[in-house]
Structure 1
């Protein structure tokens, strides 16, 4: 249940309880007041009847002497002296009684119908019922309005926070929440904005440091490469040149990650046939994987970045998996699968991490670069493990704009 309906339900419940409490209070107070007034009036009438009886010796005002229908409890109370009155329920309806003892020891009583008072109380109960219904309806309506407003503000805040999480650090949650009220939602939005600004500054500093270090390493690395070319041929020279090549690739990868982190990279779009493109690019690898094209599709994408993603996925399959490596093309969807142990649990749960190395060596930036380049292309790159006979599966889904060829067309 959403927060909106929780608030509505809570206000409706409180409104119901308040309406019930007020209605019961008014009902019982009015009933008590009615009974008290009826007893007082019946007592006054009986005293007048007693005066008539003392003067004429005959009961007056419809009073009766030693009425056999008089309740025993009232008869006993009258015999103790004074005037007693009570309201009772009889098969003929509600009755108000009054009784007292005469000087001769007899019991003089007076009985009247209590039904008019009950009719008045029923009319009051109907009014109370309509008032309670109006109160509940008003409270529920107010709950819907209040809950909808708060829920809408929180949804806007959540959407803005999601955009921040996706890298749009210019988004401000407080602007998305809106309103001038200084309530908890506004305080939450301000706290998220402050956290976003602090995180943005920290990430920017880290990216700048990473880019600066990688850039500064290029100059000495160029010198090392030149010096290595001047060394005499031999085993030691080959080892030095190999380590320099690894270092050069690492520096280039770090610079590429730094550029992708800035979220300013833009693709240079061209129309390409995905199946033909993948087949030709894969054929250049020394360990050529198997390519299967189920459906050919023409998409507008950046060939250089797509080739980079494809190369990293295939290289990762050979370095950390086992042959055979199969590349399947189905329209704008490219699936790369090996038959090794599969992706680690942390990759499946959190995605690729920088410098997270597998058993096949490398410096752990290949999948990170692939994800970053896919993001620039507007594509979706997902990682799973095959259930049948094991192996890691990476699926790249290229965006298809309206008017382009779709699978099966």
Structure 2
């Protein structure tokens, strides 16, 4: 049971067998395995916490020079070289903010601001804000109780990833409390379908999925949604986000068919 909890990400899980802490007590194979498992969990936890601190510290340290660099870039004379510099500075700022967001999600102390929202209009606003050629289909609208900002972040990252790594047409579909984002590219790589997004993982040719999908998974977990990556029928990648549907207490029960 403890091994399963650790594999699910609960690094606070311990066997805490009293025999492993008192050398005078008799030992057996179970006590030996228990002690080894607790030691492994503690080691993994220390390494993970060290990685989280490093990520947060790097992101914070980058913020100060990037702020000065942004201000300096705005003073450059207009021209192609200046545009290239500003573009790279914006990319660095975006990456820094992503690293900070990852570190906050890793800390697992995020709070949510819940409210009831109609999913169809919210998804439409996300697509318009993305500035991309994304088709929006609303099969059946639904009210969901969620954190709007975090949900918009998830959907925005899925749409951006579909355009960056997939191929048009990109379609966002709302069907009740389920939102799917589908493209017509080569599909998700095998490692992602098997074990989920991995930070800065790159395939041959230098293509990877950066931090966008990792952030989408983390934010989906915070708002209690289920995000699944798969292959779309007929080819392409499809991400499906299932949200907890909001049921109004005063709504009459559905009529039974005769």
Q: Report the TM-score range of the alignment, normalised by the length of the smaller protein.
A: 0.7 to 0.9
RMSD, aligned CA: 2.5
Question: Whole-Å Cα distance in 2 between the matches of residues 371 and 257 of structure 1?
Answer: 11
Indicate which of 200, 210, 214 corresponds to 1:368: 214
Distance in 1 (CA, whole Å) between partners of 2:29 and 2:12 is: 23
- Structure 2 CA distance, aligned partners of 1:242 and 1:187? 57
1:73-131 deviation line (CA, Å, top 9, x unaligned): xxxxxxxxxxxxxxxxxxxxxxxxxxxxxxxxxxxxxxxxxxxxxxxxxxxxxxxxxxx
C-alpha change, 1:382 and 1:286, in structure 2 (3 Å) is same
Instruction: Name the counterpart of 1:353.
Output: 198
> Which residues of 2 match residues 131-210 of structure 1 at below 5 A?
158=1, 160-174=2-16, 182-210=27-55
Q: How many residues align?
A: 245
Q: Where does structure 2 lack aligned partners over 5 or more consecutive residues? A: 18-24
**Farther off after superposition, 212-221 or 259-268:** 259-268
1:272 aligns with 2:117: yes
Instruction: Indicate the residue corresponding to 1:242 in structure 2.
Output: 87
Kindly provide the CA deviation profile for residues 145-196 of structure 1, in whole angstroms up to 9, marking residues without a partner as x: xxxxxxxxxxxxx2x3333333333322336xxxx98543333232212111
The aligned residue for residue 113 of structure 1 is none
Match of 2:177 among 324, 328, 332: 332
> In 2, Cα distance between the equivalents of 1:211 and 1:289?
34
2:104 corresponds in structure 1 to 259
CA–CA distance in 1 between the matches of 2:5 and 2:55?
24
Deviation at 1:238, TM superposition (A): 0.8
- TM-superposed CA distance for 1:403, in Å, is 5.7
TM-score scaled by length of structure 2: 0.86
What SS does structure 2 have at the residue aligned with 1:382? strand
Which of these two proteins has the greater Rg computed from alpha carbons? 1
2:161 and 2:123 mapped to 1: Cα distance?
16
**1:404 Cα deviation after fit:** 7.4
**Structure 1 residues 272 and 401: alpha-carbon distance in aligned structure 2, compared to 1, 3 A threshold:** closer
Tell me how far apart the structure 2 counterparts of residues 208 and 400 of structure 1 sit (CA, whole Å).
Answer: 36
**What does 1:29-178 correspond to in 2, within 5 Å?**
158=1, 160-174=2-16
Deviations along 1:267-309, one digit per CA (max 9) or x if unpaired, are 2111111122112222223223111112222121111010000
Distance change >3 Å, CA 185–CA 272, structure 1 → 2: farther
Relative distance call for 1:189 and 1:166 in structure 2 (3 A) is: same
Normalised TM-score (structure 1): 0.56
Match of 2:225 among 371, 376, 379: 379
| In 1: Cα distance, 2:153 partner to 2:103 partner | 16
Shift of 1:314: 0.3
Q: Where in structure 1 are there 5+ consecutive unaligned residues?
A: 1-157
